[in-house]
């Protein structure tokens, strides 16, 4: 009897939901790097109430990890234990209310920029250069080309680890560079962003300029994860990496981009361990050369492959 309980898969212990629950789902295809192990359980909620229901009814101690569009994310080769929440189409809608855009957390930042353009709202053009989803962008105060979420944030709704909803204003977020005060177990499900009336043609021109600059300076058509490290105060991460001689540095199937050396690239056969190990080697070389310790901007989650094998050997799913 004890052995049978020991091998019960997590998915069998979760509440009945209206969305989609799947066990042992490969996650590499959901990330821009195209690497990483499986989710123990992948949950795609039907709506916010469905998400709150699962969070409130999950077994105690079961971890929850949120997966956006996978743009600034590295999932380790052993995968992610617990529940991985993926906010899909139900969370990707955007509507305009005067000078405000109310958008689901699953909407991509470029699509929100397009909605603002079509509504004649300026100030959100920078989102064209942010490849992630709005939920992740709010959590990390994402920005590009002189703009950031903090400058356009009006409010957000989040659901905590017990399934309770919370209304958040800008004071509650306490935004800083690539940072917010949002609790780790709170999931943003909706955000309201503020624009200013503007000429759609001028807004479109600025968006095209942002996109052109991205294509000119960044390896956006490769298997990459966006900016790898945050810029230290008063410095640029790529310049420090270049100074340390890391441009073109390789480990396994991973390489530091020749085009923009604050980007790591999966050349086709990289593992997550290759990419993370290369990033740590860059950090070490930069520190040795400059005395500056780079901090990861890419979110690294999950367990190494060896940890996954140990879990399976012990009888976990």
Residue 6, pLDDT > 60, answer: no
Catalytic residue among 71, 133, 180, 227: 227
Instruction: Look at residue 27 in the predicted model and tell me its pLDDT.
Output: 97
At 1, the pLDDT band (50, 70, 90 cuts) reads very low
Confidence of residue 5 (pLDDT cuts 50, 70, 90): very low
Give the percent of the chain with pLDDT over 90: 91
Residue 314, pLDDT > 70, answer no
Which of the following is catalytic: 102, 178, 213, 214?
A: 178
**CA 308/CA 129 separation, integer angstroms:** 35
pLDDT of 114-156, one tens digit each? 999 999 999 999 999 998 999 999 999 999 999 999 999 999 9
239 is catalytic: no
- Judge whether residue 306 has pLDDT over 80: no
Q: Is the pLDDT of residue 315 over 80?
A: no
Whether 288 and 249 have beta carbons less than 8 Å apart is answered as no
Q: Taking the domain 91-215, which CATH number applies? A: 3.30.465.10
Residues 297, 157: Cα–Cα separation, whole Å:
24
Q: How many CB atoms lie within 10 A of CB 53?
A: 19
- Give yes or no for residue 316 having a pLDDT over 90: no
Nearest Cα to Cα of residue 78 among 265, 279, 272: 272
- Catalytic (active site) residue 20: no
Residue 79 has pLDDT above 90, yes or no: yes
Neighbours of 278 (CB within 10 A): 23
β-strands 196-197, 20-26: how paired? unpaired
148 noted as active-site residue: no
Please give the average per-residue pLDDT across 215-242, as a whole number: 94
CB 116 within 8 A of CB 97: no
> Which pTM does this prediction carry?
0.90
**End-to-end Cα separation, the chain, in angstroms:** 17
pLDDT category at 3 given cuts 50, 70, 90 is: very low
Q: What are the residue boundaries of the structural domains of the chain, listed by start?
A: 2-89, 91-215, 227-297
| Chosen CATH of 227-297 out of 3.30.450.40, 1.10.260.40, 3.30.160.60, 3.90.78.10 | 3.90.78.10
Catalytic residue among 86, 297, 299, 308: 297
**Where on the phi/psi map is residue 308: left (φ > 0), alpha (ψ -120 to 50), or beta?**
alpha
4 pLDDT tier (thresholds 50, 70, 90) = very low
- Tens of pLDDT along 178-195? 999 999 999 999 999 999
User: Which of 3.40.50.720, 3.40.190.80, 1.50.10.150, 3.30.43.10 is the CATH number of 2-89?
Assistant: 3.30.43.10
Grade residue 220 by pLDDT with cuts at 50, 70 and 90: confident
């Amino acid at each position: 009897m004890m052995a049978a309980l020991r091998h019960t898969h997590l998915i069998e212990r979760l509440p009945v939901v209206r969305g989609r629950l799947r066990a042992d789902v490969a996650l590499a295809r959901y990330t821009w790097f195209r690497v990483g192990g499986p989710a123990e359980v992948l949950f795609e909620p039907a709506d916010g109430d469905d998400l709150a229901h699962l969070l409130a009814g999950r077994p105690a101690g079961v971890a929850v990890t949120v997966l956006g569009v996978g743009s600034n994310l590295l999932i380790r080769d052993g995968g992610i234990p617990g529940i991985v929440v993926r906010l899909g189409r139900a969370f990707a809608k955007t509507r305009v209310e005067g000078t405000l855009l109310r958008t689901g957390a699953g909407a991509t930042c470029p699509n929100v920029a397009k909605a603002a353009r079509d509504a004649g709202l300026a100030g959100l053009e920078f989102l064209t250069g942010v490849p992630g989803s709005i939920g992740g962008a709010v959590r990390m105060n994402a920005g590009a080309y002189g703009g950031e979420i903090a400058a356009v944030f009006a409010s957000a709704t989040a659901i905590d680890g017990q399934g309770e909803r919370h209304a958040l204003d800008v004071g509650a977020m306490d935004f800083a560079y690539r940072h917010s005060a949002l609790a780790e177990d709170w999931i943003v499900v909706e955000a309201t962003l503020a624009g200013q009336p503007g000429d759609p043609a001028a807004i479109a021109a600025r968006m095209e300029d942002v996109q052109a600059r991205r294509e000119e300076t960044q390896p956006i058509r490769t298997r990459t994860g966006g900016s790898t490290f945050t810029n230290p105060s008063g410095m640029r991460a790529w310049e420090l990496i270049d100074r340390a001689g890391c441009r073109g540095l390789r480990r396994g199937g991973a390489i530091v981009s020749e085009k923009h050396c604050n980007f790591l690239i999966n050349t086709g056969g990289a593992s997550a361990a290759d990419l993370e190990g290369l990033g740590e080697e860059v950090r070490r070389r930069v520190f040795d050369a400059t005395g500056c310790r780079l901090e990861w901007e890419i979110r690294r989650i999950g367990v190494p492959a060896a940890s996954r094998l140990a879990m399976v050997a012990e009888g976990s799913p």
